[in-house]
Structure 1
Amino acid sequence: MILRKLRIFGEWESQCKMYDFRVLNRLLIVYCKMGLLDKAESLVNKAVEGRIPYASTWHVLVIGFMENKQIPRAVEMLKNALSVGRFGWMPNPATFTAFLDYLEWKGDVESNGRDDNSVKQIGSGVQGFVSETVED
């Protein structure tokens, strides 16, 4: 099944004139459900070369990594999704709540003497995201 979908996707990708990330998202969902996260991430990295992805494309990976208990990688994908700056997009509430819980936990780790600049960077992105949401 996955090989067939990958073949169809490859044919579409080689012939498409206007890239539609929604098509890629469908394949990513299958990969993530099968636990093939590295393959899914590799597809996205290839697809974004010279293109601006949808935030939802990164979000598919966020969910995949979260469901597979790879929270640090999920955080990286969420940072990518937030950086796209697509107006009106926001992660689903469950994802956002889990993300904030992770930041809180990392903050607890930080307060125990560890310094993690990526957490500060993510926190800044979340603050901007929340501010924009509240202002709307």
Structure 2
Amino acid sequence: MFKTLSDTMLASPQITPDQVAEAASQGVTLIVNNRPEGESPDQPAGAAIEAAARDAGIGYVAIPVTHAGFSLPQVEMMKEALSGNDGKTLAFCRSGTRSTLLWALARTHEGEDPDAIEAAAAKAGYDVAPVRSIMDAFHAAA
């Protein structure tokens, strides 16, 4: 269920509080929730996932991304979350796509190679084409 984007980054479709233990067993020390509350009626509450994470000794941060797209503050929040975590990060949304795209933007904003980020995302089954031009602009400006 969790897809590997890098040695320190996993992406996933919606998780449940019960799956937090599985994340912990895989070395996850931070969970990033990229799904807005109430996006779907069957969606587990972010507070329940946060409580399960805290009980498991895992950090938790919510950086909701709607289908309207990404903003620079979201990218900066993701950069901060990733840089402040010494272990693996698991980011999730409905399908894992928004989490992967936000990770790609954050990494290229840090100066990482867009081609390498794109290849890693593709290997995990995700396409960064919707944000590739922004990734290139971030990389050029870094």
Return the structure number with greater helix share. 1
Q: TM-score, normalised by structure 1?
A: 0.33
Q: TM-score, normalised by structure 2?
A: 0.32
Question: Relative contact order (C-alpha < 8 Å, sep 6+): which is higher?
Answer: 2
